Structure 1
Amino acid sequence: MTIQATDSAPAKGRAPQASHHRGTKVRRQRVRAAWTFLAPMLVVLVMVAGWPLLRTIYFSFTDASLSDTAGAALIGFENYLVYDDGAWYGLLADPVWWRSVWNTVFFSVVSVSLEVVFGIIVALLLNAEFKGRMLVRAAVLIPWAIPTIVSAKMWAWMLNDQFGIINHMLMAIGIIDSPIAWTASASYSMWAVIMVDVWKTIPFVALLVLAALQMLPKDCYEAAEVDGIHPVRVFFRVTLPLITPALMVAVIFRMLDALRVFDVIYVLTSNATSTMTMSIYARQQLVEFQDVGYGSAASTLLFLIIALATVIYLYLGRRQLGVEQ
């Protein structure tokens, strides 16, 4: 009896170790398989995006011009910041650059916030049962399907102060007395751009949120209905926490797009200082002023700002999800 007990004890002790070893081996095999499948995509990504990025960073430390990039000479950090003759020069000392940074941040925060709020509302409406729901779902995607240049030009005509339909409608119902130059006025141009961007990208957020709503368990809502809990309270206590991962994906994609926004603002307001973003500033330096070195410095800082914002958001998002779990 005693001998059998001592023989069986090590056998029981070895089983978890063998199982753990097999689990670790399987995990390593899965990781190797994942890297094997990802390798071709990573190689293409390095060729398509990595090399231009490195070349842009290199040009930011040179005096390259658009007419002569081959004869560029290294000048260090002069494109970024340099002290000469009692004054600071360079990108970091340019008030127009800092204005474009502020415009970009303001545009990104306000537009993404509005898109999330309205996207959730639209998703909740599309998730409800009503006649013709599939047709409405298809119609909601139309703004997202229209190319950005086309939709921006369409809104530029509608917001025109001379023949735009927006001014005509507002004057007809008595909200304004005279036409407003929505895209030419420093007071209204940024809000006009935000409105156009929100109109176009609400369907994207709504689609992601709707997909998350379709996967929610029904028993939670049935229990809440039986207990007589108010729908608003159910939304904030049950629905919102459950769709948070989908919202994080929507926000990170939209924030990346908003921080590097160019097309919609350039079509509506061109190089106006009141709406100039970092991308438009970099384009102005590269193309119009033909200063490749200075424009590359602006592009490099834009890349660093976007990368930093992405890392911070992902870090905070993971911590929040970890607390909820």
Structure 2
Amino acid sequence: MRTLVRGRLLRSRTLHGFLFTAPLLFLFAAFVIYPMGMGVWFALDADAYRALFSDPIFRQTAINTLWYVGVAVNVKLVLALLLSGILDYPFRWIRVLAALFLIPWAIPALPGILSFRWMLNSQWGIFNYLLTVFGLPSVPWLAQYWTALG
């Protein structure tokens, strides 16, 4: 009789555990397992690769990415090494300089991005306002290829 009661209790706990985890398992399958499976399925299609490599936008994107990785990352690395050497000196003003360098790290990325989009706005951004104050024409910073991507 005791084993029968224990068996029901165990099955009841197992059922409750499954019912509590079922929504999470469904979401995991829908948003992780299914996209991974579809990615593998699409990766086996050779026509997709032909279309991708013949697309001029993909070529330009690949060139921009390689340029960024080759230049921007290495320049940042060299500058970081130089700054770390400078910030190692025991001067009083070095502490202030170190605090100034930590401010961008402490500010989250999204407000920084939105601030730059506001400053570079071609109609009411601060950079174009300063240009018009000095009598220069305003520049559509984010609308032109050479000013947006450099």
The answer as to 2:21 corresponding to 1:60 is no
CA deviations over 1:151-207 (Å, ceiling 9, x no partner):
1111111111222222334555x5x8211111111111113xxxxxxxxxxxxxxxx
Helix, strand or coil: the match of 1:141?
A: helix
The answer as to 2:100 corresponding to 1:118 is no
Change (3 A) 1:102 1:54: same
Q: 1:159 aligns with which of 120, 124, 144?
A: 120
Helix, strand or coil: the match of 1:184?
A: coil
- Paired residue type of 2:41: F
Q: 2:143 aligns with which of 179, 184, 187?
A: 184
Q: Distance in 1 between matches of 2:92 and 2:108?
A: 30
**% of aligned pairs identical?**
25
Q: TM-score, normalised by structure 1?
A: 0.32
> Which residue of structure 1 aligns with residue 64 of structure 2?
103
Q: Distance in 2 between matches of 1:114 and 1:165?
A: 28
Q: TM-score, normalised by structure 2?
A: 0.63
- Superposition pairs for residues 143-158 of structure 1, below 5 Å? 143-158=104-119
Q: Distance in 1 between matches of 2:74 and 2:138?
A: 29
Q: In terms of mean alpha carbon deviation, does 108-117 or 177-186 score higher?
A: 108-117
CA-based RMSD: 3.0
User: Contact 2:120–2:128 (CA<8 Å) still a contact in 1?
Assistant: yes
CA deviations over 1:208-227 (Å, ceiling 9, x no partner):
xxxxxxxxxxxxxxxxxxxx
User: Contact 1:107–1:190 (CA<8 Å) still a contact in 2?
Assistant: no
User: Contact 2:122–2:141 (CA<8 Å) still a contact in 1?
Assistant: yes
- Superposition pairs for residues 74-223 of structure 1, below 5 Å? 76-81=45-50, 90-170=51-131, 172=133, 177-191=136-150
User: Contact 1:161–1:181 (CA<8 Å) still a contact in 2?
Assistant: yes
After TM superposition, where is structure 1 displaced by more than 4 Å over at least 4 residues in a row?
Answer: 50-54
User: Contact 2:52–2:58 (CA<8 Å) still a contact in 1?
Assistant: yes
Structure 1 residue ranges without an equivalent (≥5): 1-49, 63-75, 82-89, 192-325
> Which residue of structure 1 aligns with residue 22 of structure 2?
none
User: Contact 1:182–1:189 (CA<8 Å) still a contact in 2?
Assistant: yes
User: Contact 2:122–2:138 (CA<8 Å) still a contact in 1?
Assistant: yes
Q: Distance in 1 between matches of 2:107 and 2:115?
A: 10
